[in-house]
Chain A
Amino acid sequence: METKIEQLRQEATKAIQNVAGTLNDLNDVRVKYLGKKGELTALLRGLGKLSPEERPRVGQIVNEAREQLEKLISEKNNELKHKAMAAKLANESIDVTLPGRKTNHGHIHPLTLTLMEIKDIFMRMGFSVEEGPEIEKDYFNFEALNLPKDHPARDMQDSFYITEDILMRSQTSPVQARTMQAHEPNSPIRMIAPGRVYRRDDYDATHSPMFTQIEGMVIDKNISFSDLKGTLEDFLRQIFNKDVQVRLRPSFFPFTEPSTEVDISCVMCKGKGCRVCKGTGWLEILGAGMIHPNVLKMSGYDPSKVSGFAFGMGVERITMLKYGIDDLRLFYDNDTRLLEQF
């Protein structure tokens, strides 16, 4: 009996080791020796015929042999599985250098991107976004801004007229007067007004008959020129970069007094002087000033009680500088090859 067991154990061990094929082959071996009708199982059943003294000893031997074989089968099973996985992996490799599947996604126009960024910066500073009509009354576009008819400063803005008194607004500044007139007199205002404006300029690399401006205005008690300087420096460092230098130059706008042009150190050459800044190291970026007392008065505000500053900038210019675009016409050309870069 014991010899028989040992013989079966050796035979089965060899059979397990010899399995080279699939898990099924291994299973066949298991069934042959350890299955319900397997040879080792049959021996186990035959234990009944042994004497009660022999039974425990032989039973232990059979069980040991069985455990040993099961362990071997389990090991063999793992080995076969690993081999199968390795074979599967080897089989399934692909050319990962082929390009990935492209997704359809759209692009926001670069000017809108800049506009959104500017709005975001000012809204965080507590500015509201105001709007006004693009076809505007001469009164709001000029007169309420201290620019009476035949004022020479009107030459700065050659406008598209619809009638004698209605024009396509040449600036977003009319929103200043409209906003003030919509407010309780002398109540505080912090607003920006982005929008399309129109000028009778020839279409070239830096001019366009339609372009985008952002107007800004702060009115409150004790607003000073130094506040204007601080606010605009803060804005310009956010929209360009924190190291940008800001320079204010006295200038003239009929609706502000004092007036200033605001320059930044050239973002292309860091102020060293290049083609973009015409060698000066500075770029003119916006116009600003303390709101002229006439402008406040005309819209019902009392310049002896409140003061304010206003500013205006071109979104195209800022976008061109941010992205290094050298021709303004590209924005209105809408070539998909340009749009899809943003």
Chain B
Amino acid sequence: MQVSIKWLHDYIDFTETSDELADKLTMAGIPVENVVHAGEGLDKVVTGRVEEIKRHPDSDHMFITQVNVGQPENIQIVTGAQNVRQGDIVPVAMIGAKLPNGMKISKGKLRGVPSNGMLCSAEEMNMDLSALRDDQKNGIYILPADTQIGMPVKDTLGLDDDILEFELTANRGDCFSVFGLVREVAVLTGNTPKWPVIKAVEDDDALATDMIKIGIDAPELCSRFSARVLKNVKIMESPEWMRCRLERAGIRAINNVVDVTNFVMVELGQPMHAYDYDHISGKSLTARKAVPGENLHTLDDSSRVAKGEELVIADADKPAGLAGVMGGLESEVTDNTVTVVLEAASFNGASIRRTSRACGLHSEASGRFERGVDVTQTTRALDRAAQLLQDMGACTVTKGIVDVYPVEKQPVTVAFTPEQINNRLGTDIASEKMVEILESLEFRCKADGNGGYTVAVPSWRNDVTFMEDLSEEVARIYGFENIEATTPRGTMVQGVQSPLQDFIDRIKVTLTHIGMNEELSFSFTNPEMFDKMLLPADSPLRKAIPIMNPLTDEAPLVRTSLLASVLENAVRNLSRKNEDIRLYDVAPVFYPKELPLTELPDEVVKVAGFMSGRRNPMSWNTDNEMVDFYDAKGIVEELLVRLNINNCHVEAGEYMAMHPGKTALFKKGREIVAAVGELHPQVAENLGISKKAYIFEMDVPTLMKYSSDKFNFDVLPRYPAIVRDLAMLVDEEVNASDIEDTIARNGGKFFKNVTLFDVYTGKQIEDGKKSMAFTMQFQSNDKTLTDEEVDESFKQILDAVSREFNAELRG
């Protein structure tokens, strides 16, 4: 909705500037998004006649014009515009003008020819292009031939007017009209509106009811249908003032009949439609549901096949328009029209909304019906339209209005007590003040004798049905800024978050401490990613939930794999030459119980991570080694320790997108607690990742299940430990963790721990073998151990290790 200040001034006086008024309206809940100061920057733009035009000798697209701007001498201007002819009257920006787009006009030469100004286009004058015809938008804006020359173009174009652009809320349908806005301006500025007298003179003897039959077959979708018939219609251009008002309201002027229906719509908020009477078959118009399959041929010359739920206005043969959305092409008013039927009706907002969305047609009319129009004023709108056309001498008005209004709307009443409103607002506003505010908005208040009031809601305020709605009316006029700030009293409760939230925060803090960067990714995915990640055809992860109306083809599904998201972010970073990447994400994936969804899916929070690049930040004193599998595994191990998840069984295994020979699974029984591995080389190739990368994934509910809240504090030892080292040669495929298990099992009662501190293959080690070195600690809590006590345990260990792993012990 946009409206010019002049249009408001037609019906109310106020002294506020446009900006002040915009501010008052905004602070009262009628948001003005923008004030267009039309005419700004046009101070030195005047009207001029092109007296002479000839081609530029050194350019094939420029012209040299001599322009008469009402001064003794013509001025020479070079222009690149192609639409200027000799005798045209055009806007001329004189030397020194500073146009709305910031362009400064100064003396210059174009290809060697002096040019002392500029001819302007509509855009350069910051005119509202949406209200202009194509020929007015393109090239220089050609003014009417009778325009006086040497005049400020601002006055000629009526650009000495400001435009308020509203961003109205969905509840205030009444403010989608000049009258509605004037009512608000009256309350906010304390002035009284000067309403126009609306009166049509029925100067034609014909009876409207004899000429047209109006019917409502779908009363749930159309609550009122009123019509007037106009005869002897002369189709012509509307007067300048009306075209101007409309153009500033963002509506293109077309012809007097169409313009008047639009004018009344903007003025009263009642959408209207004009039919060419001679093209209404059977001389009847009925609001009915469309018959599935019938053809809807609308003004925009497009044909649609009806689904059957649309409301149409049909003549005896066919739909003559999509009710409240767009009229039909056949009964359109044309230059040949002589008799017109004017429609003013009230349609169901939800139905109009469905239809306009389904057809992709949003019109000024449909927007108003969606928000709700005042059903009581259809006849007033018809009178206003007839009056305006009559004033132009463009028609005669037949007698009577054909008005079908099956169930008359009863006025809404709401009861309130000032105490209720004060309690809701936290204010202490006097009853008299509340009544004054409500009365100023034309809510009629009647005291009920017990301190309360019964309020009759004005017919145009269909958003008000509760005491709470009245509290808003009081508050917005009283001023939100006048309401004090208080602290809620009442029951004090402790602020907590769920154990899952706490746990997620712990994961994030831990991973961040150990060098990982948190990412946040979209919850969308696409099937190609599943292919790239080598998911088997029958993988349940491919059963992702499809979105009915995805934003792009690249994101048609809701993700089932967080690893996929992390990989996408890693790829993007690598493509930007960010080489050292440590990313993790903690976020849900979505597993449908079945497809299509009949109930909400399972939302499972996962942790996923990606590492590649240098182990240490690049520096003069580090060795630039690259991360390897064990860096990634170390991250996972550290996280599990911090989450107090102990004693997982670690084994080689297979996991999605991981190298089958370089994947470790951390397990509890058969359940995978964590998986970490090298990115599968084929997956890497599919994603265009050329360096080694390592990934991990965990499932947060599983982590939570095995996370112990017990904290075992180890008493610091009082007696020294005895250390023994053990080096051995074993077959290459022997697992370190198995040796460690054997050592621990055979270590005796003083065994404390074992650490693998060296693994070596290569020179001096025969093929198929590796050298491993462990260090063990033995300690007692009761005494200082002797070598003899430890020697016994150590021997047990040596025997067990050589026996079980065929280990060859080394010095």
Given A102-B616, A200-B549, A224-B425 in contact, is the A129-B498 Cβ separation under 8 Å? Answer: yes
Q: Distance in Å from the Cβ of B468 to the closest Cβ of chain A?
A: 4
Given A112-B520, A160-B550 in contact, is the A133-B498 Cβ separation under 8 Å? Answer: no
Is B581 positioned at the interface, with any CB of A under 8 Å from its CB? yes
Interface-lining segment among B254-262, B471-479, B716-724? B471-479
Given A136-B600, A251-B29 in contact, is the A259-B484 Cβ separation under 8 Å? Answer: no
Contact B573 A335 (CB under 8 A): yes
Q: Distance in Å from the Cβ of A91 to the closest Cβ of chain B?
A: 21
Pick from A112, A200, A292, A307 the residue with the most CB of B within 10 Å.
A112
One of B26, B497, B517 near A123 (C-beta < 8 A): B497
Is A80 positioned at the interface, with any CB of B under 8 Å from its CB? no
One of A105, A123, A260 near B515 (C-beta < 8 A): A105
Is B424 positioned at the interface, with any CB of A under 8 Å from its CB? yes
CB-contacts of B544-579 with A (<8 A): 545-551, 555, 558, 569, 572-573, 576, 578
Contact B423 A224 (CB under 8 A): yes
Interface-lining segment among A18-26, A28-36, A225-233? A225-233
Is A151 positioned at the interface, with any CB of B under 8 Å from its CB? yes
Residue of B nearest to A223 (CB): B488
Contact with A along B471-494 (1 / 0, CB 8 A): 110011000110111111111111
Q: Distance in Å from the Cβ of A85 to the closest Cβ of chain B?
A: 27
Instruction: For the complex, give the distance between the alpha carbons of A119 and B502 in Å.
Output: 12
Pick from B169, B558, B583 the residue with the most CB of A within 10 Å.
B169
Residues of chain B with a CB closer than 8 A to A222's CB = 423, 489-490
Contact B491 A188 (CB under 8 A): yes
Residue of B nearest to A289 (CB): B472
Residues of chain B with a CB closer than 8 A to A153's CB = 170-171
Q: Distance in Å from the Cβ of A239 to the closest Cβ of chain B?
A: 16
Q: Distance in Å from the Cβ of A284 to the closest Cβ of chain B?
A: 10
Contact B469 A162 (CB under 8 A): no
Is A166 positioned at the interface, with any CB of B under 8 Å from its CB? yes
Given A223-B488, A336-B583 in contact, is the A123-B495 Cβ separation under 8 Å? Answer: yes
Instruction: For the complex, give the distance between the alpha carbons of A152 and B351 in Å.
Output: 11
Residues of chain B with a CB closer than 8 A to A230's CB = 484-488
Residues of chain B with a CB closer than 8 A to A198's CB = 523
Contact A337 B603 (CB under 8 A): no
Contact B495 A124 (CB under 8 A): yes
Given A160-B549, A336-B578 in contact, is the A218-B488 Cβ separation under 8 Å? Answer: yes
Contact B518 A258 (CB under 8 A): no
Instruction: For the complex, give the distance between the alpha carbons of A202 and B597 in Å.
Output: 26
Pick from A160, A166, A257, A340 the residue with the most CB of B within 10 Å.
A257
Is A210 positioned at the interface, with any CB of B under 8 Å from its CB? yes
One of B26, B170, B583, B600 near A133 (C-beta < 8 A): B600
Is A168 positioned at the interface, with any CB of B under 8 Å from its CB? yes
One of B172, B471, B515, B519 near A257 (C-beta < 8 A): B471
Is B71 positioned at the interface, with any CB of A under 8 Å from its CB? no
Contact A135 B601 (CB under 8 A): yes
Is A50 positioned at the interface, with any CB of B under 8 Å from its CB? no
Residues of chain B with a CB closer than 8 A to A143's CB = none
Q: Distance in Å from the Cβ of A164 to the closest Cβ of chain B?
A: 9
Instruction: For the complex, give the distance between the alpha carbons of A330 and B603 in Å.
Output: 26
Is A290 positioned at the interface, with any CB of B under 8 Å from its CB? yes
Q: Distance in Å from the Cβ of A146 to the closest Cβ of chain B?
A: 11
Contact with B along A117-155 (1 / 0, CB 8 A): 001001111111111011111000000000011111101
Contact A135 B480 (CB under 8 A): no
One of A112, A250, A307 near B424 (C-beta < 8 A): A307
Contact B170 A155 (CB under 8 A): yes
Residues of chain B with a CB closer than 8 A to A226's CB = 425-427, 483-486
Q: Distance in Å from the Cβ of A72 to the closest Cβ of chain B?
A: 45
Give the size category of B's interface with A: 35 or more
Is B514 positioned at the interface, with any CB of A under 8 Å from its CB? yes
Contact A163 B596 (CB under 8 A): yes
Instruction: For the complex, give the distance between the alpha carbons of A292 and B495 in Å.
Output: 25
CB-contacts of A253-310 with B (<8 A): 254, 257-260, 290, 292-293, 303, 307
One of B495, B508, B584 near A125 (C-beta < 8 A): B495
CB-contacts of B160-213 with A (<8 A): 169-172
Residues of chain A with a CB closer than 8 A to B350's CB = 148-151
A-B contact count (CB 8 A): 275
Is A332 positioned at the interface, with any CB of B under 8 Å from its CB? yes
Contact with A along B500-544 (1 / 0, CB 8 A): 110001001101111111111111100000000000000000000
One of B423, B495, B514, B551 near A190 (C-beta < 8 A): B495
Is A248 positioned at the interface, with any CB of B under 8 Å from its CB? yes
Instruction: For the complex, give the distance between the alpha carbons of A249 and B511 in Å.
Output: 43
Residue of A nearest to B172 (CB): A252
Is A39 positioned at the interface, with any CB of B under 8 Å from its CB? no
Interface of A is mostly: mixed
Contact B621 A101 (CB under 8 A): yes
Contact A334 B488 (CB under 8 A): no
Contact with B along A190-211 (1 / 0, CB 8 A): 1000001010101100000110
Is A76 positioned at the interface, with any CB of B under 8 Å from its CB? no
Contact B495 A231 (CB under 8 A): no
Is B354 positioned at the interface, with any CB of A under 8 Å from its CB? yes
The total of chain A residues at the interface (CB under 8 A) is 92
Q: Distance in Å from the Cβ of B613 to the closest Cβ of chain A?
A: 10
Contact A163 B353 (CB under 8 A): no
Contact B581 A250 (CB under 8 A): no
Is B27 positioned at the interface, with any CB of A under 8 Å from its CB? yes
Residues of chain A with a CB closer than 8 A to B424's CB = 224-225, 290, 307
Contact B514 A249 (CB under 8 A): no
Instruction: For the complex, give the distance between the alpha carbons of A335 and B27 in Å.
Output: 41
Residues of chain A with a CB closer than 8 A to B587's CB = 196
Q: Distance in Å from the Cβ of A128 to the closest Cβ of chain B?
A: 5
Q: Distance in Å from the Cβ of A208 to the closest Cβ of chain B?
A: 8
Q: Distance in Å from the Cβ of A19 to the closest Cβ of chain B?
A: 41
Instruction: For the complex, give the distance between the alpha carbons of A152 and B353 in Å.
Output: 7
Pick from A222, A226, A334 the residue with the most CB of B within 10 Å.
A334
Is A116 positioned at the interface, with any CB of B under 8 Å from its CB? yes
Residues of chain B with a CB closer than 8 A to A223's CB = 488, 490
Is B617 positioned at the interface, with any CB of A under 8 Å from its CB? yes
Q: Distance in Å from the Cβ of A260 to the closest Cβ of chain B?
A: 6
Is A99 positioned at the interface, with any CB of B under 8 Å from its CB? yes
Instruction: For the complex, give the distance between the alpha carbons of A176 and B523 in Å.
Output: 23
Given A133-B600, A222-B489, A250-B472 in contact, is the A332-B427 Cβ separation under 8 Å? Answer: no
One of B516, B517, B518, B590 near A135 (C-beta < 8 A): B590
Instruction: For the complex, give the distance between the alpha carbons of A202 and B549 in Å.
Output: 13
Contact with B along A90-106 (1 / 0, CB 8 A): 00000000110111111
Contact with A along B204-247 (1 / 0, CB 8 A): 00000000000000000000000000000000000000000000
Contact A258 B583 (CB under 8 A): no
Is A182 positioned at the interface, with any CB of B under 8 Å from its CB? no
Contact A134 B523 (CB under 8 A): yes
Instruction: For the complex, give the distance between the alpha carbons of A293 and B120 in Å.
Output: 56
Q: Distance in Å from the Cβ of B561 to the closest Cβ of chain A?
A: 16
Contact B597 A163 (CB under 8 A): yes
Instruction: For the complex, give the distance between the alpha carbons of A337 and B547 in Å.
Output: 33
Contact A258 B515 (CB under 8 A): no
12 A-B contact pairs sorted by A residue (CB < 8 Å): A101-B622, A128-B495, A209-B551, A210-B523, A223-B488, A227-B426, A227-B489, A230-B485, A249-B27, A250-B28, A339-B517, A339-B519
Closest 8 CB pairs of A and B: A226-B426, A250-B29, A224-B426, A252-B169, A150-B350, A123-B495, A258-B472, A129-B497
- A contact set with B: CB distance below 8 Å: 98-99, 101-109, 111-112, 116, 119, 122-131, 133-137, 148-153, 155-156, 160-163, 166, 168, 188, 190, 196, 198, 200, 202-203, 209-210, 218, 220-227, 229-231, 233-234, 247-252, 254, 257-260, 290, 292-293, 303, 307, 331-337, 339-340
Given contacts A223-B490, A250-B480, 14 further A-B pairs with CB under 8 A are A99-B619, A102-B617, A112-B518, A150-B349, A160-B551, A161-B549, A162-B546, A162-B597, A166-B600, A224-B426, A226-B426, A252-B171, A334-B572, A336-B517
